[in-house]
Amino acid sequence: MPKTLKCLYSEIRIPAIVPFTGSDAIAGITMAMDFAVSLSLFFSGSSIAFSHLSGFIAAGLILLLLRFSGIDRSTSGMQTARPIVIYILVQTAIRGGSIASLTYFGLPESLALGLGIFAATLIGSYSSNLLLSRPSNWLSLGITLVVCAFALRLVFLGSLPVIPQEAYYWNYAQHLSPGYLDHPPLVAVTIYMGEVLFGHGVWGTRFGALVYGLLFIVIFYRYARLQVTQSCAVFACAFALLLPYFFLGTGFFITPDASLSLAWVMALYFFYRALVNHEARAWYGLGLAMGMGLLSKYTIVLLAPAALLFMLIDPQARKHLLRKEPYLAVIIATLVFSPVIYWNATHNWASFAFQTRDRFEAVPQLFLGTLLKNILAIVTPLPLFVLPYLFTANVVRKDELLQSPFTYRKRLFIISFFLVPLSVFIWNALENAPRYNWTGPLWIALLPMLSWLVINAGKLRWPGITLLFNKFTAPLLFTLIGFYAILLHFMSIGLPGVHFPGGAARLLGWSEVSRNILTIQNRLTDNGGTGRVVIVGMDKYFVASKLAYYGTEEFLGGSNKLQVTGSHLVGDNSLMFAYWNPADEFKGDDMIMLSRFKSKLTDKQLQPYFDKLSPAVIAFPIYKNDFGLPEKPFREYYYRIGFGYKPLH
């Protein structure tokens, strides 16, 4: 596969440092204009975002001027209007991400600006420029989309602040254990190993997600090739990279979904080889995949009843029930999963209870609409169009000679491994609220068939769906690339004139928050506080996790560090913080309590736990001032100080 795709990629890549010109002299002029404008604006006091975007626009204007004046007589040019818009968005995002990443690695902002522009130019010649030509076929379009997706993922991996979930799982890694209350331990081990290699920081924290993402797409391609041709498999990889759940969840953010998705596609790959292709050795690989999945999230267990259903319906697969390999696979998976079993056995089966009984204690309500909205948000409506074709053998019009590769057994395999897990989530949504990412891995089973249907849309039955495939697919994928480019640029170095919304406080500004909390802590210490100062995040896990992540020596400098824990100290639920930090350890300490809501800091809530409280709840501004952005608050949190903590028993 790699050699073949490499040759195909070389054939379709545009070999130009600066698009639309074949002249090295003209390319040099435009690049010089880019550097001159960008650096001049930055040194005159403009933000990095405004400076590099202005330089990019200036370079484009000078190129147009040279073209229209006749000085540049190159014959190169774009064929359609849509690629130039996507090129601009992707290339500017790659520039912004390169600049932010170089700053993250310690370069001065001015040097990061210049080197970032240069690096983005090189990256652009290998990725974004692909977007400027109309793809000759679906294979070349698939390669184009895959390359651009990986380029965006790579340059922003270390420059986008960690999300609350990542910060929480980083705290897992500081307390390595065979198990945890709300998730198995693989995410903790992954973060720990990444930071052993690269140190504490966003790149080290997320490095494992990048590795999982690369392995995921390799295994997914092999899974797709079991069912469809090379062109369809490559285009399916574009779906497996660009649909929202997969772009962010399988190779960017380090959450349990990153390793779960890899384990899920591995399990599908080995299940297919074992049940459809009758390869007995595939069962051993399946055992490892299921064990890895169980170390990621318990939901992968839903593949077991799916496999059982397939074996009960399909006479050929039913024979495996009488062979040793499936049972050896169960033993292998159980051995891999045994650390979690041990932890639960020694902790009153807390994690198993949390993921089953405890999730269903709320008052029953109907959440089918929420489930559908979640599906549309994480995979778009496109995979839903596959469902009608799963239940018919006659997917091609009678006047076409095309033969569908999806025989009865292949469709039964997809139906079993998609609908059985989905039915569990539908059943849950009849009474309980589903999480937005729960159904994400289920769609892996459908993507090869989706790719084949899109590529052959003109020959399919049911003109309405055919029209949707024809008119909706390519614009959707290009729109997603553009959306990711804008979003990642905005959340890393901002967009000129666009203010961060209040909701961005869950993601941005926490290095500033930790420094400001440190200032308050030092003030308490300097004023003769009687005990150590502890920071308490007044919610389930978000505030405490972010403060712990950014309240380290690497972010605060010197030997400064925040002692952070959760709201279990004042009677609330703070998940694993209650296991890591028993209340008795903090007797007599002073505490700074930070909350999103004033209602969490009232006398009634806090007075029983302290000898004395500060008289007022004080507003705490959240702002982001990296990369020359102004210190304009976009959200207020609140804090209050408690003196002399008294644990209640």
Q: Is 610 inside any structural domain?
A: yes
SS (H, E, C) 333-391: HHHHHHHHHHHHHCCCCHHHHHHCCHHHCCCCCCCHHHHHHHHHHHHCCHHHHHHHHHC
Span 317-321, average pLDDT? 95
For 70-127, where are the alpha helices, taking DSSP H only? 81-104, 109-126
Q: Is 360 inside any structural domain?
A: no
SS (H, E, C) 482-520: HHHHHHHHHHHHCECCECCCHHHHHCCCHHHHHHHHHHH
Q: In the chain, pLDDT over 90 holds for what percent of residues?
A: 66
Closest listed residue to residue 547, CA positions, set 556, 367, 421: 556
Q: Is 361 inside any structural domain?
A: no
Residue where a domain stops, chosen among 70, 105, 134: 134
Task: Reduce the DSSP state of residue 545 to 3 states and report it.
Answer: helix
- For residues 406 and 312, membership in a common domain is answered with yes
pTM of the model: 0.93
- For residues 528 and 444, membership in a common domain is answered with no
Q: What pLDDT score was predicted for residue 212?
A: 97
- For residues 517 and 614, membership in a common domain is answered with yes
Q: Is 641 inside any structural domain?
A: yes
- Reading the block at residue 519, the tokens are 């200032």
Reply yes or no on whether the pLDDT at 440 is more than 80: yes
- For residues 101 and 196, membership in a common domain is answered with no
Q: Is 242 inside any structural domain?
A: yes
- For residues 75 and 204, membership in a common domain is answered with no
Q: Is 485 inside any structural domain?
A: yes
Q: How would you label 118-142 residue by residue, b for 16+ Cβ within 10 Å and e otherwise?
A: ebbbebbbebbbbbbbebeebbbbb
For 396-462, where are the alpha helices, taking DSSP H only? 408-429, 447-455
Mean pLDDT in the chain? 89
Reply yes or no on whether the pLDDT at 252 is more than 50: yes
Strands 564-566 and 533-537 turn out to be: parallel
Question: Half-sphere exposure of residue 296, counting CA atoms within 13 Å on the CB side?
Answer: 27
For residues 148 and 60, give the distance between their C-alpha atoms in angstroms, rounded to a whole number: 21
User: Domain range spanning residue 605?
Assistant: 505-645
- For residues 377 and 470, membership in a common domain is answered with yes
- Reading the block at residue 336, the tokens are 């891999």
Q: Give residue-wise pLDDT tens across range 101-121.
A: 888 888 888 899 999 998 888
CB 325 within 8 A of CB 274: yes
- For residues 103 and 248, membership in a common domain is answered with no
Confidence of residue 8 (pLDDT cuts 50, 70, 90): low
Closest listed residue to residue 249, CA positions, set 89, 441, 58, 95: 441
- Reading the block at residue 48, the tokens are 């990095």
For residues 60 and 57, give the distance between their C-alpha atoms in angstroms, rounded to a whole number: 5
Question: What is the 8-class DSSP label of residue 460?
Answer: B
Q: What pLDDT score was predicted for residue 83?
A: 67
- For residues 345 and 375, membership in a common domain is answered with yes
- For residues 53 and 78, membership in a common domain is answered with yes
Strands 533-537 and 610-613 turn out to be: unpaired
Burial class (CB in 10 A: 0-12, 13-18, 19+), 603: exposed
Confidence of residue 253 (pLDDT cuts 50, 70, 90): very high
- Give the residue, 83 or 460, on which the prediction is more confident: 460
Question: Which residues contact residue 311 at a Cβ distance below 8 angstroms, ignoring those fewer than 6 apart?
Answer: 275, 317, 318, 320, 321
For residues 87 and 287, give the distance between their C-alpha atoms in angstroms, rounded to a whole number: 43
Q: Give residue-wise pLDDT tens across range 579-632.
A: 999 999 999 999 999 999 999 999 999 999 999 999 999 999 998 876 666 678
- For residues 277 and 130, membership in a common domain is answered with no
- Which strand (E) or helix (H) includes residue 594? strand 590-595
- Reading the block at residue 507, the tokens are 């993601």
Span 290-308, average pLDDT? 97
In the chain, the number of structural domains is 3
Q: Is 108 inside any structural domain?
A: yes
Residue where a domain stops, chosen among 104, 134, 164: 134
For residues 533 and 531, give the distance between their C-alpha atoms in angstroms, rounded to a whole number: 6
Report how far apart, in Å, the C-alpha atoms of 548 and of each of 170, 253, 555 are.
9, 18, 11
CB 412 within 8 A of CB 353: no
- Reading the block at residue 553, the tokens are 């020596």
- For residues 12 and 110, membership in a common domain is answered with yes
CB 112 within 8 A of CB 99: yes
- For residues 144 and 124, membership in a common domain is answered with no
Closest listed residue to residue 567, CA positions, set 601, 607, 597, 538: 538
Q: Is 274 inside any structural domain?
A: yes
| One-letter amino acid for residue 567 of the chain | S
Residue where a domain stops, chosen among 490, 523, 554: 490
Q: What pLDDT score was predicted for residue 78?
A: 47
φ, ψ of residue 635 in degrees (nearest 5): -165, 150
- Picking from 25-34, 168-177, 590-599, which range would have the lowest pLDDT averaged per residue? 25-34
CB 148 within 8 A of CB 90: yes
